[in-house]
Amino acid sequence: MTDTAAAHTAATATATAAGGQVAEPRARFRDLLAAEWTKWWSLRSSGWALVATALAVVGFNTGMAYDTYRYWSERDTASRADFVRDGIPLSIAFSTDAAMLLMLAVSSIGATVIVGEYRTGLIRTTFAAVPARRSVLAAKVCVVTAVTTVLGAVVSAASFGLTQAVLSGRDAGVPIDHPGALRLVVASALLAPVSALVGLALGAVLRHSAATMTANVVVLLLLPLVFGADRHWAAVVGHALPAGAWNRLTAVGHQPVAHPWTAGGAWTVYAVWSVAAAVVAVASVQRRDQ
């Protein structure tokens, strides 16, 4: 027997003699990730929610492209000539309505991850098995971020590819290297994990389905409508919201606005909301579930 093994055996014997039992080894974080991953996919509703969201958003954008294709002949010559220059293909590639639909759907998915466990009481079993509550929530944050990032990437890429393929039938589509196209695809893809983390954080704090869904609508959809760009302070608040950041990153051309801001600032808003939501989710469960 090696010295290390002997020391381990002696320590185990001492612990057994003193307390009557050997403490269970602390759960490794990768085991928590695996558990949360299995928990996610063990529910059929999780997969169907992702599929339904993807089909709805991609279908909405593709439908707009098809409408443009269908009624192309009704446009005058000047409108057709300025179609690409005015950036309309990009506004169709991922529309504002589609972004709102994505935010609402994905934030609801993120909220369900934690609210569902509180509703069924499964969270008590989880915390009994793993007393390290912050680690459990951190694992949830990682899984939610990974799954919704993939969802966002698939939805954004598919929307761009399909819409531009439809518009190309009228010689009105643009490639991915068109100015602003790649940024639109990336910004739309990352909107999904940002929204999902916001939903997860609100769910961890409120722990009630109706209240959480209402809060999602208020934070992600209603506040951007309340804080317009007519006054400086309102514009600052609007810019600091996820929807405002997405609007800035997907803006086409040099549209005059009363209070402009930078793309770098919009990327920062994405990062701050994501980190803040993760911190709120982890901290709230540690403070309230002792």
Q: What is the pLDDT of residue 259?
A: 66
What do you get for the CA distance between the two ends of the chain, in Å? 42
pLDDT mean for each 10 residues of the chain (290 residues): 40 42 66 92 91 97 95 88 90 95 96 91 86 92 97 98 96 94 97 98 94 95 83 84 94 66 92 97 75
pLDDT value, residue 137 = 94
Q: What is the pLDDT of residue 236?
A: 86
∠ CA 154-217-227, nearest 5°, is 105
pLDDT at 287: 61
Neighbours of 250 (CB within 10 A): 24
Q: Which of 95, 100, 93, 106 is nearest to 53 (CA)?
A: 106
Provide the token pair at 227. 């804080």
Q: Determine the Cα angle at 27 with ends 26 and 29, to 5°.
A: 130
Whole-number pLDDT of residue 25? 59
- The reported pLDDT for the residue numbered 11 is 40
Q: Which amino acid is located at 39 in the chain?
A: K
Give whole-number Cα distances, 1 to 6, 10, 11, 12, 186, in Å: 6, 12, 15, 15, 57
